[in-house]
Structure 1
Amino acid sequence: MANIQDCPGFEPFGEDVKAARKKRRLSRQKAAEMAGISTVYLINIENNHIIPALPVIIQLIQIFNLPAAKYFNQLTAGEEHDQRQRISRKVMMCPEEHLLVIEGALDGAIESK
């Protein structure tokens, strides 16, 4: 396991996993089972800034539909404005059936420029 300081771009990973898990109303135990890891390992990822092994990262990204590029593209990590990051996280957690509404709102906002 790597520490957060060793992995630029992964600073929000644990928080993103935790937020996505809560959004889906999954217990830590159930989420850990889905990822094939122990509950303690998941707790360390979510709360203690531990970066998991690559197969676990991939599992968590797939399970929670997290934006892989956000974590692996360290050139842009940290450059986004906080509000853009919050919106991006919320869109990633949004149920599929609401994405059309969100896309329409974004299109309207862009066109109104």
Structure 2
Amino acid sequence: MQIKILVVDDEKCIVNALKMSLECDNYKVIEAYTGDGAIRKVHCEAPDLILLDIMLPDMTGYEICNKFRKDPLTRSIPIIMLTGMGETGRIAGMGLGADEYITKPFDLNELKAKIRAVLDSIER
């Protein structure tokens, strides 16, 4: 079964780069560029993992993470936050239930390692 990853970021170049790279590793990538788009996609696509930017045009990644953690249908989907914010942002994101946090600019190999680690932890 192919693992589905929802990538939520308003920067299309980041989404496209992640999509190309993750699809090379045989992940199915679903794209969203807004918080509303992420909420719609998560309910119709049922991703196995979410890569979530914090700064989106219509709501923050913190708000989205909080919504997903309160919803019984989405609360168990792992979330890795991607952001240009520093340590303060990481603490806030982890406090809302994010499983991991990566600061932009990020190393693609590190991100892929964190994706594998998060997915491995839920399969056990």
Q: Return the TM-score normalized by structure 1.
A: 0.31
**RCO higher in 1 or 2 (8 Å CA, sep ≥ 6)?**
1
Give 1 or 2: higher strand fraction. 2
Q: Larger C-alpha radius of gyration, 1 or 2?
A: 1
Give 1 or 2: higher helix fraction. 1
